[in-house]
Amino acid sequence: MRALIIGIGQCGTKIADLFALVDFEAIAINTSKSDLEYLKHIPQERRILIGESLTGGKGVNANPVLGREAMKRDLSLVMRKMNSVIGYEDVDIFFLTFGFGGGTGAGGTPVLAEALKEEYPDSLVVAIGALPLKEEGIRPTINAAITIDKLSKFADSIIAIDNNKLKETGMDISGAYEKINYTIVERIASLLALIDVPGEQTLDASDLKFVLKAFGSFATVGYAKAEANKVKNLSRLILKSFENEGLYLDANIESALYGLVAIHGPPELLKANEIFEALDYLAQKIKGKQIFRGFYPDPREREVEVVTLLSGIYESKSIEDIILTAKRYAQSFIKAKEEAEVRKRELLSGLPDFDDLYPGEINE
């Protein structure tokens, strides 16, 4: 199973850099030269500055029109570099990491997703994006809504992480970002680490691709971990992984089409009846009724870890709030703009030109 992580913009490249730290192949793309320099783990030759002719390497200041243009102008450079990193071995899934609320990531990611789909039709393109905080104001919300719409046409799944969920942790903002970035990487890395490895019942790349090939709908990754001696009933731990606090998105999991549950831990704890109790419950609960499962007994392990992936989700309060707020704002903005134009025309109509009032000043 080969995954390639591509970070776009500041948020996205920070997350990709953490993936590189835990040995994933990662590429960073940004309009900001200094943000690219700030990365620690992605090798220099895998950092791509785009839109330099447009912004002089200074970022696009949350303007996705510029982010989109930067990616378009340098798309052939990006795809060439991509090609040289990929070589001859196929990529199963491209994970594109980015922040929905900025300019480079929001504007550039859909352009790249479309190009990757065209160039590598057998690979999946999965977007992993952070949704803006409500306090950031209207602009990030609009950027997010329009980017969701565009990505839903090209990405196979969109894993949306709601930054608002981290406010509940009560940390300062940069600490909270760090934590959520780390959590995203931990979850996805734990999931990928269990694909194509030996186990009791295993998950392979085609299972994961099946689950994530979901017409650009939303997916969420749940997670729960406990020390082996504290696990009284594994069923409860599994359920916890996809309950609300396990997820980073307010989503109605009943609207999910597919689920995938991977459990890793000491053999004596992976009791079939407890596992099936939870999996049956989950299969009943989700719309698609299909759960892929992998059990990985490991005698060296002192912890039990459960990673849950739910895909095909189309009901999410986090997403609906963003879309409805953006639509409402767009309507009132467009109306206000039209009114302003009408008022301007009304006010200025009937004025003469200079020549009407200063006749005969210039002899021709």
Secondary structure of residue 294 in the 3-state scheme? strand
Q: Is 143 annotated as a binding residue?
A: no
Residue 140 binds: one of ligand GTP, Mg ion, none (C-beta under 5 to 8 A by kind)? ligand GTP
Question: Comparing C-alpha atoms, which of 220, 175, 195, 196 is closest to residue 314?
Answer: 220
Binding mask 245-284 for ligand GTP (x = CB under 6 A): ----------------------------------------
Q: Is 11 annotated as a binding residue?
A: yes
Q: Which of residues 46-65 bind Mg ion (CB under 5 A)?
A: 59
Question: Smallest gap, in angstroms, from Cβ of residue 105 to Mg ion?
Answer: 8
Relative to beta strand 303-313, strand 258-265 is antiparallel
CA distance 259 to 282: 8
* Tokens, residue 249: 């998105």
Task: Rule CB under 6 A: say whether 181 interacts with ligand GTP.
Answer: yes
Contact predicate 74/51, CB 8 Å: yes
Phi-psi region of 42 (alpha: psi -120 to 50; beta: other; left: phi over 0): beta
Residue 60 binds: one of Mg ion, ligand GTP, none (C-beta under 5 to 8 A by kind)? ligand GTP
* Candidate ranges 126-134, 147-155, 204-212, 283-291; the one touching ligand GTP (CB under 6 A): 126-134
Tell me the CA end-to-end span of the chain in Å, nearest whole number.
80
Task: Rule CB under 6 A: say whether 140 interacts with ligand GTP.
Answer: yes
Q: Which of 130, 146, 256, 310 binds ligand GTP (CB under 6 A)?
A: 130
Using the minimum distance from each CB to ligand GTP, give the nearer residue, 185 or 270: 185
Using the minimum distance from each CB to ligand GTP, give the nearer residue, 30 or 157: 30
Which amino acid, 125? V
Reported in sequence order, the residue ranges of 188-256 that DSSP labels E, i.e. its strands, are: 217-227
Q: Is 181 annotated as a binding residue?
A: yes
Phi-psi region of 123 (alpha: psi -120 to 50; beta: other; left: phi over 0): beta
> Which residues sit opposite 311 in a β-bridge?
258
Task: Rule CB under 6 A: say whether 10 interacts with ligand GTP.
Answer: yes
Residue 321: phi and psi, rounded to 5, are -55, -45
Using the minimum distance from each CB to ligand GTP, give the nearer residue, 185 or 195: 185
- Enumerate binding residues for ligand GTP (CB under 6 A): 9-12, 14, 31-32, 59-62, 99, 101-105, 130, 132-133, 136, 140, 163, 177, 180-181
